[in-house]
Amino acid sequence: MTDDPQLTIGALAATSGVHVETIRYYQRLGLVDEPRRAAGAIRRYDARTVARLRFIRRAQQLGFTLQEVRQLLQLEDGGRCGATRRLAEIKLAQIEARIADLSRMRRLLKTLIGACASSRIAPACPIIDALGADGARVKWRR
């Protein structure tokens, strides 16, 4: 594919794996440029736009928000690897914190499910009871 504009927005969506409405949303946010429309013609997109959409999609798959993607796009020239690495390190720390939170939630749910399974004659469901507790009986925080 050359840099000459040749793709309609539908073809751009199919080629990049990003829905048409998402492309339009990215245009409104300023993440993707909207090409000019020639007199009486439809807009045509080039290979750079395909690459940019794929970049955005891959960054999101790694957990980057659109605001963070905007920052990455500003560093896209590759000349500021240190700044890019710092953004990635921050994202990794956030992911690791989320994994710790999910592990904590998993342990708590297993405990509650176990309590429910072993509570045959209890007046109330241990899960419902724990969810309604003021925190005295269930440790919710790390």
CATH number of the domain to which 14 belongs: 1.10.1660.10
> Is 142's pLDDT higher than 50?
no
pLDDT tens-digit series, residues 36-91:
887 778 889 999 999 999 999 999 999 999 999 999 999 887 778 899 999 999 99
Range of the domain at 28: 9-74
Higher pLDDT, 135 or 119: 119
Non-local (6+) Cβ contacts of 27 within 8 A are 33, 34
User: 95, 63 in Cβ contact below 8 A?
Assistant: yes
CA angle 40, 45, 50 (to 5 degrees): 165
DSSP 58-69: HHHHTT--HHHH
pLDDT at 122 (0 to 100): 59
Query: What is the total count of domains within the chain?
Result: 1
Would residue 37 count as lying in a domain?
A: yes
Which amino acid appears at position 92 of this protein? L
